[in-house]
Structure 1
Amino acid sequence: MTDHTTSNLSRRRFLQGGAAAASALGLLQGGLRPVAAPAEAAPKGKLPKKPNFLVLMCDEMRFPPIYESEDTKQFRQQYLQTQNFLRQHGADFHRHYAASVACTPSRASLFTGHYPSLHGATQTTGAAKEAFDPDIFWLDPNSVPTFGDYFRAAGYSTFWRGKWHASDADMLIPGTHSQLVSYDSNGAPDPSKEALYTASDRLDRYGFSGWIGPEPHGRAPLNSGSSVPAGQQGRDVGFAQQAKSLLQQLDHGGHTKPWFVVSSFVNPHDITLYGLWTNTGMTEDFAFDIEEDVVPVELFDSALFDQTVNDNLATKPRAQKSYQETYALWIQPILQDPATLERYFRYYYQLHKNVDEQMMIVLQTLLQSRHADNTIVIFTSDHGDLLGSHHGMHQKWYTAYEEAIRVPLIVYNPKLFPQPLQIDTLTSHVDVIPTLLGLAGIDPEPIRQQLSLDHSDARPLVGRNLTPLLTGQIDQSSVNDPLYFMTDDDPSRGPNQDNWTGIATNSVLQPNHLETVIARLDSGSGPKVWKYTRYFDNPQFWSEPGTPTGTSAVEDVIQLQKQDIPTTPGTYFPFAYEVTVKQTPKTDEFEMYNVTDDPMELTNLYNNPGYATEQSTLAQLLQQQCAQKRLTPCSGIVPGQPTCGQVPCSS
């Protein structure tokens, strides 16, 4: 096998991995230059040779917001033992962001190192969209390679256990779209069905072996992470046991090749299931149990939290207010009385403890093995959760707020990090693959060229190799690259535009597609983190996708049911719909925040004359980041897709 390793993890290599960001920053006209975080020296540890990798991944866990109470901080310290252990000999990233939302777009971006504009997995199933709908696009196994493909090509054994959700990999019952489940009526593993999934190796074409389905997705309690009645088992328990068994096999089975294992969990994603219908017996039998003596009642500093609860959305892009108003219709209502909200908030943190306990089972198995010192552990989440912030918004869609897109990232190894390290550098999910390859001493470019033989869009990685930062070859003061975030996920619109009760619903109004730049700027009072977001109406996702050209524009046709369908047999009458035809995109809307001074993002500074210089700088940075990172397929044209003024692609 070709050797793609390299020991040249120099500053030059690091900057090359930044998609030529340094040269682009010199193009800013009359604005501010991005600046780096204050320096903190990295501990000088020895990088393991040909390390193994264990990725511990959860779903919907946000970085702790500024308004958490002292009780909540104590809860984290006492009960989130996996994270706390990893920090003792790890690098803890405090400004790490998802590349996209929600589940599928974020995961596919993390797994490929590219944005949805290239890998195509723009939408999340659920609400108005289902897995087989025409406007759902999954990651294709021969389009953009995953980190499994990269590491397998470099000589690693690669394995996946747990939630995947970048493609629809489930085995199906013939003649249906129903999952073939691998557990019994109480959620306990069914050995014969697990063996069937193992033999079928449904993720092999994505670079991973041994995945046991089905996906933990949908409205069935047994497909939740842990929200099941007594005597039943949620999926996270099984996922932990699958990963434990795999690590034990790698420890005792005479395995000699380096390995790359992903152990992926559901929670705290179960918070998505919490609401009026699930709490009043109108759906299946969920159980939202809280350990009363464990999870604090006063989770938030009331003086701070009240500010975000009372956020004035009239000063923000209109899609946010639309989302806040319609969420209860196309997902389910969350009542705003104090008792309901207290249970809702506390259950989210209970789910943190639940998943931490399962991750600890996997981590302890590693620590008890011969691979403990030679394995780098990575912990992260795909995205966060708004959890009632910003005037009562929930989940993670239609915004770029800190609660939704800022997530934990810890890189652990006792040899590499003799002491804990905190990193305040701005980092993104698209940096993860280049960094892991860098930690393994693997040059990605020869492998990418090799993978391009059977992948249509194996384009150069757009993220940065942060290895020199982790190993102390460079310090944080020299890293000043902006971040790019994008989302086209629109779960409120689709062929199934009604809720659990069958009531037809409106979708979130346009413009509701986002692109964001996050950067540190210094306007004379020290480095500060700024965030600038453009909301736009993307014709790629119109009823007839295409590029509007005036009177011959493509049309976006929206039909809204105006009355209930008759339920009495033999009843016939004219059926009313409202039809809207749109030929031009809605006007762009913007928001801009000084996140350092306004960490709850309450004051939209866009078009504020006092911040004209910052606005001009951020607008230019957004255009540059879009051009550098929002790549499009080389394999063909996507109708209506934004191009950011890029030159035609080349592999």
Structure 2
Amino acid sequence: MPSEDERLVAALAGFNPDQLSDQQLLLCRDYLNVAEQIGLSGLQSSADLQEVLEFLADAESATARPPNLVVFIRDQVKPEDLWLPRDWAKEKLPTRQWLLDNGLSFENSFTNTAMCSSARATFFTGKFPAQHELDLLLSDIENPILDSQVQLNPDLPTLGNVLLDQGYDVSFFGKTHLSKTITLEDGEVVYQDMQPYEFSDWQGPDAGQDMDPANAGGGYADNDSRFVDEATGWLNQRVKSGNDRPFAMVVSLVNPHDVLSYPETWGKGDPQTKFGYSRDMIEGSIDILPKTVKEPIASPTAVQQGFDLAGNYKPQIQREWLIAQAGAQPLPTDEMKLNYLNFYGNLMEIADTQMGNVILALRRHGMVDDTMFVSTSDHGEMGMTHGGMVQKMFNAYEESIRVPMIWSNPQYFKGGQTSDALVSLVDFLPTVAGLYGSSEQQLEGYDLRGVDYSPIIRRAATGSPLSIDDLDVQSSLLYTYDDIYAGQDPANSIPEGAWDHGLLPGPNRLQALRTKDYKYVRYFSGDEPYEPANWQGEFYDLRPGGGDYYPNIDPITGQLNPFKAAPLELRNLDPKAEALRVIHGHEPLATDEQRLAYAQMSQLLDEQIDRRLTPLEPFPSRQPTVTIYRGGSAGESSAYDDGDPIVRLLPTGDGSNALEVAFNTRAGQSYNIVTLQSQIEDGELVFSRDDVLVSNITGTNGPTYQYITGLSSGLELSDLAVEWIGGFVPLGLWG
């Protein structure tokens, strides 16, 4: 509830004090905070508020923003000082330390969803999976469900669109995982095209999208080195060209994602099956396991009174995942667990060096001071916590959902600053739009669903006299998880064939709310009614005094603990967990304060779901366009050159023709390939369908590839068409 002072400020600001939104209330608190910083005794009048607003405007515009932008994305990086030895990151990751020393780190930064494709789509569009619709990991596994996976819709505004509208050249180097390849009849894999998303200069192949050693960040494949070489080469060419337009560049590295190859495929051997890392990659200075490594989640808990929770009163799916993990990625001994962590750490060191190489290239050209750097990740990594979990599936622990978020520039920032404001990946694009000058009209067109936290960035600048302490832009963050197949083949669903349920038994979809003090996670199944009787849950008190926290100082010895302070998330205070404790003869753990907080968080989650997870209105149907060849696995031996449309008629050995065509689709639409009849009506050429060659091609927002044999040798491309809801597109227009 707002205080009397906050209600007064709300009225002065033109808000309804009885119906304040979260952001309005935080804005009122900020005005009061600024008033105190500049020496006002309070905000009692419109004149007082005007003085605060004028001071804010001057403070937030006092420092010129660096014109260029470089965004580093690493895959699967939790905060580097979370459950790794206390000073490990400071000693081992010099690029990260330089970014911290010259920038602003958001210590409460989170992903909004934890699989690569969905998290990246959220980051680049400023929308939740409920809106951008990438709720599954994009995969080349052959399966009817995955064959029709929705890819990122090019009609959604992206980081590329936002910065192009501000006059930027926008380039992308590295892992994308936003769309899928197609494979031609001759076996060539045609790479994705990032230009529909308004990113230039991307070169295939993509990497890091699966367990294939050819797609690894390092090892034999060493795709990350290729990406960095492409980025630095582009920078060098740009400087030589004399192009002085501002630029934005995404450098997206695979690693430390390669950690998923340990212990089965990480080492030396056949490059078809082994990643190619040497023994020294599993050696290092990480010699202590996280505090929660022994949590008994995988130990069975008796099913009583309808509950089927895992050990330690956690949701069932966590036990199922740990059991599955033990088969696919077995790490039974402490030595193997430490090997895993050292492999993860060594991969982070390599990625840190590669980011440093990009910064070094800018430094050689005298461009560091003119460049804003952002360093983040798509999601975290469990890193042997909570019973020895790895990866990030089927949970919302801090290790999975917290990610680095550093903004850095040696001239712009005071340096070495941290903010505890809650921010998330869905907020990145609104913040870029706010910082780089998008107009109200542009923002309305972008329809962004995150929160703009650029005021915090501006106040951390050298010219601002204001503190960023206690400056918040939102009180809670929303997280969802819907990849019920966990990136695997849906055919492996349990029970067999239960594609609508997913890979593992138990409630396997998540909706979570995270505030600074608490976290509530709701587990449910898409094939059961969405109601409390079918939910399992987690509720954690994250506060240092909440009974579930690892402190900086050991309370017994008075010595620094080996890890930095962090919530433990061992004591699940969800009512169903509490009820099962009582059934087992134990006392409930939650205090009255915590029970009240649970009720408030559950209600707030419902409100956030209703307000923020509403799907977009359907886009108007869009005419299909031919897919343009932008490179493929055949290289110079390809039948196509860069920029060619993928459409042609080919003679076959039996005297007939074959049609090869790829065209771009939209989800929610279906298409046919037909032969055409044409006639003149009222002086206009009118087409009609003659014969259907292929019917009901499902739109995915990506390209579809069709190879049709047995066509008459007398047919020409102008006799063929793609039929869509709006009519016909003759292939002769494409070829």
CA contact (8 A) 2:267 2:279 kept: no
CA contact (8 A) 1:240 1:362 kept: yes
Rate the CA distance shift 1:174–1:410 in 2: closer, same or farther, 3 A: same
1:295 corresponds, among 281, 284, 288, to 284
CA contact (8 A) 1:113 1:433 kept: yes
Q: In the alignment, does 2:426 pair up with 1:430?
A: yes
CA contact (8 A) 2:292 2:568 kept: no
Size of the aligned set, in residue pairs, is 525
2:329: which partner in 1?
333
CA distance in 2, matches of 1:488, 1:50: 38
The code of the aligned residue for 2:477 comes to L
The superposition leaves residues 564-590 of structure 1 with CA deviations (integer Å, 9 ceiling, x where unpaired) of xxxxxxxxxxxxxxxxxxxx9980111
Rate the CA distance shift 1:592–1:468 in 2: closer, same or farther, 3 A: same
CA distance in 2, matches of 1:35, 1:519: 18
Q: CA deviation at 1:128?
A: 7.1
TM-score (norm 2): 0.64
1:464 corresponds, among 451, 456, 461, to 451
Rate the CA distance shift 1:25–1:256 in 2: closer, same or farther, 3 A: closer
CA contact (8 A) 1:537 1:585 kept: no
CA distance in 2, matches of 1:134, 1:319: 26
The code of the aligned residue for 1:590 comes to G
2:322: which partner in 1?
324
Rate the CA distance shift 1:334–1:128 in 2: closer, same or farther, 3 A: farther
CA contact (8 A) 2:298 2:318 kept: no
1:623: which partner in 2?
606
Q: In the alignment, does 2:485 pair up with 1:475?
A: no
1:214: which partner in 2?
205
Equivalent pairs: percent with the same residue? 26
3-state DSSP of counterpart to 1:352 = helix
CA distance in 2, matches of 1:218, 1:486: 22
The code of the aligned residue for 2:152 comes to L
The code of the aligned residue for 1:175 comes to E
Rate the CA distance shift 1:328–1:261 in 2: closer, same or farther, 3 A: same
Alpha-carbon RMSD = 3.9
1:89-168 to 2 correspondences below 5 Å: 89-125=102-138, 133-134=146-147, 136-142=149-155, 144-168=156-180
Q: In the alignment, does 2:260 pair up with 1:272?
A: yes
CA distance in 2, matches of 1:388, 1:605: 23
Q: CA deviation at 1:496?
A: 4.8
CA distance in 2, matches of 1:220, 1:125: 14
The superposition leaves residues 135-194 of structure 1 with CA deviations (integer Å, 9 ceiling, x where unpaired) of 62211111x2111111112211111010011122x4x441278635xxxxxxxxxxxxxx
Larger radius of gyration: 2
CA distance in 2, matches of 1:478, 1:154: 28
CA contact (8 A) 1:93 1:409 kept: yes
Rate the CA distance shift 1:85–1:533 in 2: closer, same or farther, 3 A: same
CA contact (8 A) 1:62 1:408 kept: yes
CA contact (8 A) 2:217 2:257 kept: yes
Rate the CA distance shift 1:441–1:534 in 2: closer, same or farther, 3 A: same
Q: CA deviation at 1:434?
A: 1.5
Q: CA deviation at 1:218?
A: 3.2
1:47 corresponds, among 60, 63, 71, to 63
CA distance in 2, matches of 1:348, 1:273: 10
Q: In the alignment, does 2:391 pair up with 1:404?
A: no
CA distance in 1, matches of 2:262, 2:615: 37
CA distance in 1, matches of 2:540, 2:605: 14
Rate the CA distance shift 1:366–1:380 in 2: closer, same or farther, 3 A: same
The code of the aligned residue for 2:239 comes to D
1:538 corresponds, among 521, 526, 530, to 526
2:595: which partner in 1?
612
Q: In the alignment, does 2:543 pair up with 1:596?
A: yes
The superposition leaves residues 201-246 of structure 1 with CA deviations (integer Å, 9 ceiling, x where unpaired) of 8111101001111111333323201132xxxx51010111111112
1:376 corresponds, among 345, 354, 372, to 372
Q: CA deviation at 1:474?
A: 6.9
Q: In the alignment, does 2:469 pair up with 1:487?
A: no
CA distance in 1, matches of 2:24, 2:449: 19
Q: Which has the higher strand share?
A: 2
The superposition leaves residues 18-69 of structure 1 with CA deviations (integer Å, 9 ceiling, x where unpaired) of xx99515899xxxxxx999x99999999533572110011000101465322
1:75-90 to 2 correspondences below 5 Å: 75-90=88-103
TM-score (norm 1): 0.72
3-state DSSP of counterpart to 2:475 = coil
Structure 1 stretch displaced more, 397-406 or 415-424: 415-424
CA distance in 2, matches of 1:595, 1:281: 45
CA distance in 1, matches of 2:508, 2:519: 17
Rate the CA distance shift 1:492–1:328 in 2: closer, same or farther, 3 A: farther
3-state DSSP of counterpart to 1:477 = coil
CA distance in 1, matches of 2:93, 2:82: 18
Q: CA deviation at 1:447?
A: 2.1
Structure 1 stretch displaced more, 87-96 or 130-139: 130-139
CA contact (8 A) 2:283 2:343 kept: no
CA distance in 2, matches of 1:363, 1:309: 44
1:392 corresponds, among 388, 391, 408, to 388
Structure 1 stretch displaced more, 483-492 or 269-278: 269-278
Rate the CA distance shift 1:22–1:494 in 2: closer, same or farther, 3 A: farther
2:217 corresponds, among 214, 225, 244, to 225
The code of the aligned residue for 2:402 comes to R
Rate the CA distance shift 1:154–1:53 in 2: closer, same or farther, 3 A: same
Show structure 1 runs of 5+ residues with no match: 1-10, 28-33, 181-196, 453-457, 521-528, 543-547, 550-583, 640-651
Q: CA deviation at 1:437?
A: 2.0
3-state DSSP of counterpart to 1:392 = coil
Rate the CA distance shift 1:131–1:589 in 2: closer, same or farther, 3 A: same
CA distance in 2, matches of 1:498, 1:310: 23
The code of the aligned residue for 1:603 comes to R
CA distance in 2, matches of 1:132, 1:619: 33
CA distance in 2, matches of 1:588, 1:129: 32
CA distance in 1, matches of 2:380, 2:116: 10
3-state DSSP of counterpart to 1:497 = helix
CA contact (8 A) 1:44 1:417 kept: no
Q: CA deviation at 1:486?
A: 0.9
The superposition leaves residues 278-336 of structure 1 with CA deviations (integer Å, 9 ceiling, x where unpaired) of 569797122233547972140436xx24454778743111111111112345xx23231
CA distance in 1, matches of 2:455, 2:111: 22
CA contact (8 A) 2:507 2:524 kept: yes
CA contact (8 A) 1:129 1:491 kept: no
Q: In the alignment, does 2:275 pair up with 1:286?
A: yes
The code of the aligned residue for 2:75 comes to D
Q: CA deviation at 1:265?
A: 0.3
Asked which structure has the greater RCO (Cα within 8 Å, sep 6+), the reply is 1
CA distance in 1, matches of 2:296, 2:127: 34
The superposition leaves residues 602-629 of structure 1 with CA deviations (integer Å, 9 ceiling, x where unpaired) of 1011124632210111112212222332
Q: CA deviation at 1:376?
A: 0.7
CA contact (8 A) 2:294 2:388 kept: no
Rate the CA distance shift 1:113–1:176 in 2: closer, same or farther, 3 A: farther
The code of the aligned residue for 1:516 comes to A
Q: CA deviation at 1:257?
A: 1.7
Rate the CA distance shift 1:248–1:47 in 2: closer, same or farther, 3 A: farther
The superposition leaves residues 315-361 of structure 1 with CA deviations (integer Å, 9 ceiling, x where unpaired) of 111111111112345xx232312332222221111110111111111
Q: In the alignment, does 2:227 pair up with 1:248?
A: no
The code of the aligned residue for 2:185 comes to G
